[in-house]
């Protein structure tokens, strides 16, 4: 999202000016640029060795968080050591099987293990006696119980915990674990649509222009504070919810037209403060001024909030499953740039607590989408601040890398999801389109500890996600989408349209030649008036006298993935960047479609 990009631009420009002050008077010759390009190729080939040397940092962080989890486990009952290893729906799609180890001294208990169902808003058993399975202590113990909790209510969204009986009460002996394979109950088992990488965050008012660009992906915002309203009745788990027909009609038209055109639709779920359905707002949080927080975390920490989020997620998953005439949403991004609470306010928490809260809400959406369309991609997004705190954040802010590691840790602890990552790799500073010299700021480098990740060093994120410790349960590299990126066509009052177009060309070629990036979505179809006032013009077109006027970047973007036109379309960019050929910058370079 761009509202806060104006603040970021000012702070980044000041920081970049400090780093570049000694460079401003220097003019590099063409030969020097070529030498630098050759050096970059060598660095590209050598980076895997450097990466291996950095994996200790990942291991140290994961280990420290593991100690936190172990300390928590140590507070459970008696001298028992217990761990739930797997919770999966069985092949018959009627039962859930839980596997666990529970060993140690059971004196003081009745010698049995009891399995309880627990919801995201429940923190303990609180005198409950309604266990759903009973078994023995030991290693590799298996417990089977029904998937259906009652008429029309599945246990899909629940976690499960083992407990022992002490007198008349039950005490938990391990952390909770959620179902790890909701996709097995999905009616839609079709592969996720991905016709190519080129995409755009579309303006619903000018879809003709978007489709004329031959996009393969489209980003669509869903303002969830408008979801509940009047006009559509939706019965879910014994309760009838009223849905805002005006919003759904708008989404229907947009999603259907894009889907019918063969475009893969990505929905971005944005939760502004909700006065109509306050249970969606985080518990214990008051609405902040817009200068401090635009969006808020989804509340699943109360029963009412949990039920409302489930109903919303279920409705969206079913309506846009591609099988009932409303179109298909294939990819879902929950929240926006969650490393910055300006976009996902939850309150004052450390990164571990904050991420755990976010992940439990994320899991509700993940389960809803996967249980309807098995191969949908469900992601969370980060900005380009990787190993530094976001600069334009008036409230809680975290390093992107720490958020990813914390999310991955809790995924291992509470049940594996095949989640994906949506990255926003803007230039640094954002006020300059020429990302190829961003290393001069001192914030962009080729190591796993780079403060910033953008197109200058995009391989850092794909190298990181290729680490064995970061792969999904099947040992696969997780999906990485670039769901928001842009380059300004003005800088300090000067026209930078050629540089913007060159940035589009170079950045897309980087993505097209990186097999671990699934999609590339430009952030603005047309300029935002507010951003232009502050010196930022990310659009592929501008608006002049209420008319759409295409920039050079519009043409470059249109033909960038056309095998017969791409080379000629981007010839101009090489001189701007200072190279003779693209393989000086991109090892084993190939043009799209060739």
**CB-based contacts of 568-576 (< 8 A; 24+ apart in sequence):** 569/505, 570/502, 570/505, 570/509, 572/498, 572/501, 572/502, 573/501, 573/502, 573/505, 573/506, 576/498, 576/499, 576/502
Q: How far apart are CA 184 and CA 97, in angstroms?
A: 13
pLDDT tens by residue, 369-414:
999 999 999 999 999 999 999 998 789 999 999 999 999 999 999 9
Same domain, 250 and 388: yes
Burial class (CB in 10 A: 0-12, 13-18, 19+), 83: middle
Do 83 and 59 fall into the same domain?
no
Say whether pLDDT at 352 is over 60.
Answer: yes
For residue 26, pLDDT over 70 is answered with no
* CA separation, residue 290 to residues 8, 49, 339, 579 (Å): 16, 45, 18, 44
Q: Say if 81 falls within a structural domain.
A: yes
- Residue with the two structure tokens 């629940």: 158
Which residues, 6+ apart, have CB-to-CB distance to 471 below 8 Å?
Answer: 465, 477, 478
396 domain-assigned? yes
- 3-class secondary structure for 296-351? ECCCCCCHHHHHHHHHHHHHHHHHCECCCCCCEEEEEEECCCCCECCCCECCCCCH
Co-location of 238 and 116 in the same domain: no
**Mean pLDDT score, 341-363:** 97
How many residues are listed for the chain in this entry?
Answer: 594
Both 436 and 491 in one domain: the answer is yes
Instruction: Specify whether 315 is located in the same domain as 356.
Output: yes
Residue 23 — pLDDT band, cuts 50, 70, 90?
very low
Structural domain count of the chain: 2
| 93 shares a domain with 46 | no
Q: What would the pLDDT profile of 36-63 be if each residue is shown by its tens digit?
A: 444 444 444 444 444 444 444 554 454 4
Report residue 358 as tokens.
């976010």
The CATH number covering residue 83 comes to 2.60.40
Last residue of a domain, one of 155, 173, 191: 173
Q: What is the mean pLDDT of the chain?
A: 90
Do 358 and 300 fall into the same domain? yes
Note down the domain range covering 353.
5-21+34-63+200-584
Residue 194 lies in a domain: no
Residues 6+ apart with CB under 8 A from 403: 338, 339, 351, 355, 382
Residue 36 is predicted with a pLDDT of 44
pLDDT, mean of residues 448-473: 98
- Residues 142, 112 share a domain: yes
- Any domain includes 227: yes
pLDDT band at 249 (very low <50, low <70, confident <90, very high): very high
pLDDT at 77: 56
Q: Average pLDDT in the 315-326 region? A: 97
Which CATH number belongs to the domain containing residue 264 in this structure?
3.20.20.80
Q: Name the more confident of 442 and 80.
A: 442
Claim to verify: residue 217 and residue 168 sit in the same structural domain: no
Query: What's residue 25's pLDDT?
Result: 42
| CA–CA distance, 439 with 422 (Å, rounded to integer) | 23
The per-residue pLDDT for 19 is 54
CA distance 157 to 178: 7
Mean of pLDDT values over 16-20: 51
Establish if 59 belongs to a structural domain.
yes
**Residue 392 has what pLDDT?**
82
CB-count exposure of residue 213 (10 Å: 0-12, 13-18, 19+): buried
pLDDT recorded at residue 78: 62
**pLDDT on residue 151:** 79
**Residue 480 pLDDT grade (very low, low, confident, very high; cuts 50, 70, 90):** very high
Q: What φ, ψ does residue 543 adopt, rounded to 5°?
A: -110, 120
Task: Kindly tell me if the per-residue pLDDT of 33 is higher than 70.
Answer: no
88-147 pLDDT, tens digit each: 999 999 999 999 999 999 999 999 999 999 999 999 999 999 999 999 999 999 999 999
Assess if residue 72 is contained within a domain: no
Residue 204 pLDDT > 60: yes
**Do 492 and 560 fall within a single domain?**
yes
Residue 184 lies in a domain: no
Q: Mean pLDDT over residues 170-194, rounded? A: 97
Query: How many Cβ atoms are within 10 Å of 216's Cβ, its own excluded?
Result: 20
The answer to whether residues 218 and 243 belong to one domain is yes
191, part of any domain: no
Output the CA torsion sign for 131, 136, 137, 138: negative
Task: Check residue 393 and give its pLDDT.
Answer: 77
Name which of 29, 15, 140, 42 is nearest 429 in CA terms. Answer: 15
Q: Please indicate, yes or no, whether residues 517 and 426 belong to a single structural domain of this protein.
A: yes
Last residue of a domain, one of 127, 155, 173: 173
Instruction: Answer yes or no: is pLDDT of 13 > 70.
Output: no
């Amino acid at each position: 999202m761009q509202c806060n990009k104006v603040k970021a631009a000012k702070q980044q420009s000041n920081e970049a000016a400090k780093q570049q002050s000694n460079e401003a008077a220097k003019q590099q010759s063409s030969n020097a640029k070529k030498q630098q390009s050759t050096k970059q190729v060598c660095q590209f080939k050598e980076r895997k060795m450097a990466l291996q040397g950095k994996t200790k940092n990942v291991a140290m962080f994961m280990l420290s968080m593991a100690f936190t989890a172990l300390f928590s486990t140590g507070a459970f009952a008696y001298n028992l050591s217990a761990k739930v290893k797997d919770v999966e729906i069985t092949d018959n799609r009627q039962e859930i099987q839980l596997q666990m180890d529970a060993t140690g001294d059971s004196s003081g208990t009745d010698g049995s293990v009891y399995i309880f169902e627990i919801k995201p808003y429940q923190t303990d058993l609180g005198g409950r006696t309604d266990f759903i399975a009973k078994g023995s202590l030991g290693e590799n113990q298996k417990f089977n119980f029904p998937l259906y909790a009652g008429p029309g209510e599945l246990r899909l969204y629940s976690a499960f915990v083992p407990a022992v009986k002490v007198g008349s009460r039950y005490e938990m002996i391990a952390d909770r674990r959620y179902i790890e394979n909701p996709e097995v109950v999905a009616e839609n088992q079709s592969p996720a649509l991905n016709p190519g990488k080129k995409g755009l965050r579309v303006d619903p008012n000018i879809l003709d222009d978007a489709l004329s660009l031959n996009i393969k992906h489209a980003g669509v915002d869903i303002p969830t504070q408008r979801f509940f309203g009047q006009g559509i009745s939706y019965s879910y788990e014994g309760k009838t919810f009223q849905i805002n027909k005006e919003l759904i009609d708008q989404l229907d038209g947009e999603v259907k037209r894009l889907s019918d055109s063969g475009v893969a639709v990505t929905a971005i779920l944005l939760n502004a403060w909700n006065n109509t359905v306050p249970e969606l707002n985080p518990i214990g949080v008051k609405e902040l001024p817009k200068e401090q927080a635009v969006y808020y975390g989804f509340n699943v920490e109360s029963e009412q909030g949990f039920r409302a989020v489930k109903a919303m997620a279920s409705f969206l998953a079913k309506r846009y499953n591609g099988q009932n005439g409303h179109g298909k949403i294939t990819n879902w991004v929950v929240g926006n740039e969650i490393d910055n609470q300006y976009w996902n306010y939850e309150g004052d928490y450390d990164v571990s607590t904050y991420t755990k809260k976010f992940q439990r809400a994320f899991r509700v959406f993940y389960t809803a989408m996967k249980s309807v369309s098995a191969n949908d991609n469900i992601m969370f997004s980060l900005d380009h601040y990787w190993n530094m705190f976001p600069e334009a954040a008036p409230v809680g802010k975290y390093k992107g890398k720490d958020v990813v590691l914390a999310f991955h840790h809790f995924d291992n602890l509470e049940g594996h999801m095949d989640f994906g990552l949506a990255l926003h790799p803007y230039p640094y500073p954002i006020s300059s389109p020429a990302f190829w010299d961003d290393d001069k700021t001192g914030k962009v480098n080729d190591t796993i500890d780079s403060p910033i990740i953008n197109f200058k060093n995009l391989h850092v994120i794909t190298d990181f996600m290729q680490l064995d410790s970061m792969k999904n349960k099947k040992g696969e590299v997780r999906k990485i989408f670039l769901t928001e990126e842009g380059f300004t066509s003005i800088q300090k009052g000067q026209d930078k349209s050629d540089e913007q177009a060159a940035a589009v060309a170079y950045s897309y070629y980087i993505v097209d030649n990186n097999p671990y990036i699934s999609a590339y979505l430009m952030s603005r179809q047309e300029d935002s008036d507010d951003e232009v006032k502050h010196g930022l013009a990310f659009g592929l077109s501008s608006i002049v006298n209420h008319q759409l006027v295409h920039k050079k970047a519009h043409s470059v973007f249109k033909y960038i993935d056309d095998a017969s036109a791409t080379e000629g379309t981007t010839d101009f960019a090489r001189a701007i960047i200072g190279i003779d050929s693209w393989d000086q910058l991109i090892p084993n370079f190939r043009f799209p479609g060739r």
